Structure 1
Amino acid sequence: MCWKTLLCCSLWLLLLKSNENLAFKIPSIDFEMLHELGFEVSIPDEPGMQRVFYMLQIDDNCPALMDYITESNNGSWISRQKTSLQNNDKLQISVLVQYNDEIYEKSETRVIINARLLTTRDGRSQSITYPNGEGECHAYLSPQKQAKRCKPAQSIVSSSRQTCQGELLFEDNFSEAQLNRSTWKHDIRQRMYHVEEELVAFDDAPRNSYVKEGYLHIVPIVASEVVEGSFKLGDRCTAVESPEQECNIAQGSFYSIKPPVFSAQIHTRDSFSFKYGKIVVRAKLPKGDWLFPYVMLQPVSTYAETHYAKQLRVAYARGNSHLQSNQQEDISGSHLYGGMVVWPHGRAMQYLKDRLSKAHYGDSFHNYTMIWQRDKITLMVDEEIYGELYEGLSFFNEKCFIIFGVTVGGFLNFDDSVLAKDVKPYLNREPRAALSFWQQRDTWAPTWGKHSSMIIDYVRVYAE
């Protein structure tokens, strides 16, 4: 229905009363961003307040949002809206209050800055009206279904359809009894075929990845033995570069042993990919010496198994509770990183931002966010921006898919040249690195415990 018509509805016949008594002043309008869940406006309750009517308009666009509140809640008159606000949006708030049978009006305009900071552009009292016959604005009462407002987004998804800013493109809350195998595929192969690689084999065994009570668990498990017999993954192996090496370990090789650790890595390459957007992952990272989480995006031109693939790392923190670089920098699990890893000319280049915390990121859940735009990548944890990247974006000019996993070691994750001598129980490039690691398991395996899993509450991707 039209705003002009709504004013004539019997619900608001009292609005026709004159408002000459100015003894009552409408309290300040409180505003709160709920981010992907929308926003909230409210005013505190005062004795004599009977009803409150909100009209909310974003960037002078129609339809406007409207809410009619008949009673206060916990001392406030609150309107919650599911529409997400974007950076530089202008929100006009008009509120009508019935106070002791008289009607009072107040209007304000808010501007969203950096999706978090709020400023008042215009504090003058004014109604949201239109000249007769010009631009009548339709409005809808909450909680009725609201008409969607579409600002075209730069995001590109697998279907190549047009997206709207703030639109939810992908979500998994892991609410089903099992992992959705139509969405997620397992990477199944061993990672030790390069001497400097990671000391782990990824598998799809239920003990290494499972869903329980709405959480995805990815669990690294120490192998019971590493020297007896050969290691063969058979037809289950997903390797694409070196199947003979990644799917098998021959018996009797001097420097080769079976994988000392089994873990899991899953991805959405075949089900969902996107270019530009906002990914939010609520997770508890793994805690334990030499563990390393993968919460990242990878270009669709590669496979999850591809060696040295370019990566957009949404977030990572090393599993060690205590670890310093040879420059005395804290690089333990209290140090969060996010950014890009690329491989021009076969050499790793890292574009990273970081944030040091007092607590290990494996102690509790956090929201890890990456906003990927054409000209910038923004990194956030728990809605706090800790870094912005402008270089290296040209390496990511195609859609990317999501990867979650927990690995162990790795020459890039735990660089020998960065660590002090003899800190690690192995050297990355030594021929028997995996065996050295395994033989010193009494020094690292006890640090894993029940916190060594990566636990993911949800993942959501929004258009930008």
Structure 2
Amino acid sequence: MLIIKLLLFSACVLPTVISFTVPKPKIEAIYPKGFRVSAPNDGYSFYGFRSNVNKQLDGLEMGQYSKDIPFPENDQWVYQENKPKLKLGDTIYYWTFVLKNGQRNIQQGSWTVTGFVNNNGISVDEDGNPTRVEFVTDSPSIVFDSKFGTPATLKPEVTVTSSCQESQSAVLGKTKICKGDLLFAEEFDKSDIKELTNWDPEVKFPQEPDYPFNVYMTDSLGLDKGILSISPSLLQSKYNEDIINERLDLANTCTGRMGTRECAQVASGFLILPPVITGKLTTKNKFNFRFGRIEIRAKLTEGNWLIPEITLEPRDSVYGDQRYESGLIRVAFAKGNTLFAKKLYGGPVLSDSEPYRTIHMKEKTGIYNWYKDFHNYSMVWKPDGLELFVDGDMYGTVDPGEGFFSSGLKHSVKHAAQWSRGTAMAPLDEMFYVSLGLRVGGVNDFADDSIKPWRNRNSKALLNFWNAKDSWYPTWSDAAVKVDYVRVYAL
């Protein structure tokens, strides 16, 4: 984010150097909501788009809809905004910021809505009906105007080739997927969590392999002005001062396995109840996919011993359901402690214990702590590896080589042998779903040291964490994980 701010600062205070031309972007109004911006790539290293709808921009302001496009797709810089519902006659005022060979080009312009297209780029009317229908026979094809039924053009063609290029991505329940398709989009523009039809909240005590110190409830989930927030609170604030030493049954609201500690727990001696309430949402019952590009704009959590959960999780646990046998992919991971918060991590977790737990994780050190602002976290999940980005900057790639099973066995990961049943990407070659949540402590993500109030393998870890409340609770003043949007595109 600092890099982007510096770019914009230099654009505002220094003379603009224009030694190359940039074509005007193509803008399309999408039915029923949103617009798409595309521009051909000509060796650019950065493409930024700032815009307002029906309101002129005040100089080089960020505008209502702002995007730094991470990288070109099929030699095109493409940005799709899904929030505004445009009408005929609406005007988008914009400016673009482009870098090439260290020089910059700033271009201002406007575009007025005169028609609509659907997500596949086909022209439609205001009701979403195609405006032109093409019939193809052995004779020249004729294109009819849908309103009047009269021939509009004659084209000397005898065959039609589809514009759809088959994608490597797969979506559960969907048969035809084209390259670049928007497979999933969530803008969090509802007023209540219950209105989010793409998501289900978790209500349970999370267990193995990390045994975090929290219980998931819906109390922690909120929506405000298009932003999802997941905030921690003390269990005492919902029940009573001594609840951590009592019994808590999540009853029929529990989404975990009934009859297990995921749904009910009884405190006994130093084995207290998890003292913190947090939240978690997943698309497990709504959207599952294999391979694609995921993009999430989020602000990470701030506070000691807090961990954001912005991940992909396996739907069916084909390779096993313990010790990350079926894998977990962290799209964005940074600990909430100020001491650790400049380190961003992304990549797969394929074992619960070190050194293999973090061996494939990639790291980027920020100039500031990552929780200071919103950032665009994206990842390309391919049949032959992973690519990790933040604010358009690639900071890591993960190559399975001969297969994760091979490197796993070399590091004495017993369950790695199961991965030989799949591809080189196994266990990351099955259906995964999107998960957004907030976690506290646990016994794997924080190494034991002199400042940590618990020891990972100590039976009193949870109690010792709670007894140190005065050292960590005051740091939770701005502890919410906040998510602006989630988008998944086909490869």
**Into which bin does the TM-score normalised by the smaller protein fall?**
0.5 to 0.7
Whether contact under 8 Å (1:86, 1:165) holds in the other structure is: no
Query: Which amino acid in 1 is paired with 2:221?
Result: S
Aligned to 2:442: 410
Q: 1:431 aligns with which of 448, 456, 459?
A: 459
The 2-side partners of 1:299 and 1:90 are apart by: 32
Q: Distance in 2 between matches of 1:163 and 1:196?
A: 36
Matched residue SS, 1:362: helix
Residue 260 of structure 2: aligned partner: 244
Q: Which residue of 2 aligns with 1:342?
A: 350
Unaligned runs of 5+ in 1: 1-26, 43-72, 76-83, 92-115, 120-140, 323-331
Distance 1:414 1:338 in 2: 16
**Are the aligned partners of 1:196 and 1:428 in contact in 2 as well (CA < 8 Å)?**
no
Offset from partner CA, 1:268-291 (integer Å, 9 cap, x none): 011001111000000000000000
Distance 1:144 1:377, change over 3 A: same
The counterpart of 1:321, out of the listed 309, 332, 338, is 338
**Rounded Cα–Cα distance in structure 2 between residues aligned with 1:201 and 1:307:** 19
Q: 1:32 to 1:292 in 2, by over 3 A?
A: farther
> Are positions 1:277 and 2:286 aligned together?
no
TM-score, length basis structure 1: 0.65
State whether structure 2 residue 477 is matched by structure 1 residue 463: no
One-letter amino acid of the structure 1 residue matched with residue 249 of structure 2: K
Counterpart AA for 1:38 = V
* Mapped pair 1:374 → 2:401: no
Q: What is the 5 A alignment of 1:60-459?
A: 87=73, 89=75, 145=117, 146-147=121-122, 149-179=163-193, 180-191=195-206, 197-205=211-219, 208-224=220-236, 225=241, 226-240=243-257, 243-251=259-267, 253-302=268-317, 308-309=323-324, 310-322=327-339, 332-343=340-351, 349-350=357-358, 351-391=360-400, 392=404, 393-416=425-448, 421-449=449-477, 451-459=478-486
Aligned residue type for 1:461:
V
Name the SS of the counterpart of 2:185 in structure 1. Answer: strand
The aligned length equals: 335
CA 1:40–1:250: 2 relative to 1, 3 Å: same
Distance 1:347 1:188, change over 3 A: farther
Give the superposition deviation at 1:365.
0.2
Q: Are the structure 2 counterparts of residues 347 and 379 from structure 1 closer, same or farther at C-alpha, using a change threshold of 3 Å?
A: closer
Q: Distance in 2 between matches of 1:88 and 1:363?
A: 33
Give 1:423 deviation, angstroms.
1.6
1:156-194 deviation per Cα after TM superposition (whole angstroms, max 9, x unaligned): 011232212211110010001112343211221123x56
Q: Deviations over 1:179-236 (max 9, x none)?
A: 2343211221123x5696211111122xx00111111010111232344421211121
What CA distance in whole angstroms lies between the structure 1 residues aligned with 2:269 and 2:297? 43
8 Å contact 2:208–2:323 — kept in the other structure? no
**How far apart are 1:243 and its partner, in Å?**
3.7
Structure 1 447/142 Cα, relative in aligned 2: closer, same or farther at 3 Å? same
CA contact (8 A) 2:444 2:456 kept: no
SS at match of 1:386: strand
Structure 1 position 147, deviation (Å): 3.9
Cα contact 1:195–1:429 (8 A) shared by 2: no
Contact 2:362 2:395 in 1 (8 A): yes
Following the alignment from structure 2 to structure 1, what is the Cα–Cα distance between the partners of residues 342 and 353?
Answer: 32
Residues 285 and 453 in structure 1, CA contact (< 8 A), matched pair in contact too = yes
Provide closer, same or farther for how the CA distance between residues 397 and 33 of structure 1 changes in structure 2, counting only shifts above 3 A.
Answer: farther
Letter in structure 2 aligned against 1:371: V
Return the alpha-carbon distance in structure 2 between the equivalents of residues 220 and 360 of structure 1.
20
| 1:268–1:290 CA distance, 2 compared to 1 (3 A) | same
| Residues 231 and 388 of structure 1, relative CA distance in 2, 3 Å threshold | same
Structure 2 length normalisation: TM-score?
A: 0.62
Query: Structure 1's 144 and 247: CA in aligned 2 closer, same or farther, altered over 3 A?
Result: closer
Greater radius of gyration (CA): 1
Map of 2:13 onto structure 1: none
Deviation of the 1:343 alpha carbon? 3.1
Give the 3-state SS of the residue equivalent to 1:438 in structure 2. Answer: helix
RMSD: 3.4
